[in-house]
Amino acid sequence: MAHTFLSLLILVLALFSLNPTIECHSRARAYVEQQCRPTLHNDLCIRTLLPFVSNTNTPTPQQLARISLTSCLIKARHTKAYVNIVAQEFNKAKNARYYEAVNDCLSQINDGVNQITQSVKEQKRMMHDGEEKFSWHESNVQTWVSTALTDVTTCLDMISDKAIGGKEKGAIKARFLNVKHLASNALALFNRFATRHRGSRRIRYP
């Protein structure tokens, strides 16, 4: 699994052939801040995208949306691995109530990872298919990311309703909240790109 995480990071970096030295000069930051305006979690958006933008490298809005969603996928997979470990610990300790609550969350994050994975693949297909398939890809990405957001929110609600250990509860909630915010930002960036692309190409829903 660690190899998969590393491969995803290498894929994103390779997309733009970035210099190892990250440049965070005012022009690059201003561009990222502008792109992140539609997001609900602005600071997180800036922190996510800024390492991939420099004064000599300016990813397109479509590429930024893909970076954001790929970052979300990496975080979701890390969260899934953590929740799985916690569930196993509760199971070994024969703590049925805690195990049931965490195992329910594990099911939700597993589904969320699948949805985000499909979204990343769909964005990649969008880059290669013609304009006639744009609306189809757009709808799929929006549906899958929205479903992932629902999955994560469901776990947060369950953790809040069911009493589990304080340390584990806080750690799980923090990780799921981070995934939720990343997914929300990724969807906002994707919608921004799609809306502008549609306007420039006069693409309409079938």
Angle at 28 between CA 14 and CA 36, to 5 degrees: 90
pLDDT in tens, 113-152: 999 999 999 998 887 777 778 899 999 999 999 999 999 9
In a domain, 191, yes or no: yes
* Residue 20 pLDDT: 41
- Residue 58 gets the label, from left (phi > 0), alpha (psi -120 to 50) or beta, of beta
Q: Which residue has the higher pLDDT, 202 or 13?
A: 202
* Residue 19 pLDDT: 46
In a domain, 138, yes or no: yes
Query: Which tokens is 20 given?
Result: 């190892």
> Domain span at residue 119?
60-201
pLDDT in tens, 57-115: 899 999 999 999 999 999 999 999 999 999 999 889 888 888 888 999 999 999 999 99
In a domain, 119, yes or no: yes
CA distance 35 to 64: 8
* Residue 106 pLDDT: 93
pLDDT in tens, 180-200: 999 999 999 999 999 988 777
Cα atoms in the 13 Å half-sphere on the side-chain side of 82: 16
* Residue 12 pLDDT: 56
In a domain, 55, yes or no: no
Residue 16, pLDDT > 50, answer: no
Asked if 127 and 194 count as a contact pair (C-beta separation under 8 A), the reply is no
Residue 15, pLDDT > 80, answer: no
In a domain, 89, yes or no: yes
* Residue 152 pLDDT: 95
What mean pLDDT is reported for the chain? 85
C-alpha distance from residue 124 to each of 75, 81, 87, 119 (Å):
19, 25, 34, 9
Map residue 202 onto helix, strand or coil. Answer: coil
Nearest of 28, 157, 63, 181 to residue 101 by alpha carbon = 157
Tally of structural domains, the chain: 1
In a domain, 9, yes or no: no
* Residue 23 pLDDT: 42
Nearest of 113, 8, 127 to residue 59 by alpha carbon = 127
CATH code assigned at 85: 1.20.140.40
In a domain, 192, yes or no: yes
